[in-house]
Amino acid sequence: MFDDRSPIYLQIAEQIKNDIVTGALAEDEQVMSTNQYAAFYRINPATAAKGFAQLVDEGVLYKKRGIGMFVSPNARDLLRTGRRDSFFADVVDPMIREAKAIGIPLKDILQHIRTYGDA
């Protein structure tokens, strides 16, 4: 489930963000408690709590005292905006570097994007 190579609380936060971006977790929906999460994924409860705390700090989740944690009403927009900002640096630039290294002309890529995107 989690790999051993980066802090698990960051992996937890990423996983929940992904669920929100794809719509698997809806806005204002309750998320699992840290203890449920820890038991389900067999991880330390403090680690799960740290991942959740980070999402609260970022405004992705909010707390209802005594009830639990919920997805913020604007979380999906917030996350999509963040990912849009880094889309070219994270996704497009590495593709261009790879294309140059293996000799695919940029016009072929543009052609492919037009056909694939319209299909």
Q: Which CB atom, from 3 or from 118, has the smaller least distance to other proteins?
A: 3
**Which of residues 2, 30, 54, 78 is near other proteins by CB under 8 A?**
2
Q: Please tell me whether residue 8 binds other proteins under the rule CB under 8 A.
A: yes
Q: Smallest distance, Å, CB 95 to other proteins?
A: 15
CB of 75 closer than 8 Å to CB of 60: yes
CB of 61 closer than 8 Å to CB of 69: yes
E runs forming strands in 1-119: 61-64, 68-71
91 DSSP 8-state letter: I
Q: Smallest distance, Å, CB 9 to other proteins?
A: 6
Q: Mapping DSSP to helix (H, G, I), strand (E, B) and coil, where does residue 69 land?
A: strand
Q: Smallest distance, Å, CB 3 to other proteins?
A: 7
Q: Which residues bind other proteins (CB under 8 A)?
A: 2-9, 35, 38-39, 41-47, 50
